[in-house]
Amino acid sequence: MAFASFLGAALVMGFGKARRRARKVVVALSAVALVVATIFAALTAIGFGATAPFGIWAVAFVLGSCWAVSYALGTLSRQEEV
């Protein structure tokens, strides 16, 4: 689940080219990354046979939020002032 969540967040941030964007766009990309990473992690859990819906979505959301916040903070800390 963690790898699937990472893959979802990395795809969004890679396609969005987050490092070349304004702060507002980075925050928006992070929100999209949260949604995509959560969905990827949940689908992976369902694919592995998990059956507790609340547990699937709770863990998927936590993993997705960790990756999204990580990407947002990492990108914002490396941006040059325009």
The structural domain count of the chain equals 1
Would you state the pLDDT for residue 4?
93
Give the separation between CA 12 and CA 72, rounded to whole angstroms.
Answer: 12
Read off the pTM.
0.86
Would you state the pLDDT for residue 23?
80
Range of the domain at 23: 2-78
| 46: nearest Cα among 33, 59, 36 | 59
Q: What does the buried/exposed string (b/e) look like for 40-79 if buried means 16 or more CB atoms within 10 Å of the residue's CB?
A: bbbebbeeeeeeeeeebbebbbebbbbbbeebbeebeeee
When pLDDT is averaged across residues 53-80 and rounded to a whole number, the result is 89
Give the separation between CA 81 and CA 7, rounded to whole angstroms.
Answer: 29
Whether 19 shows a pLDDT value over 70: the answer reads no
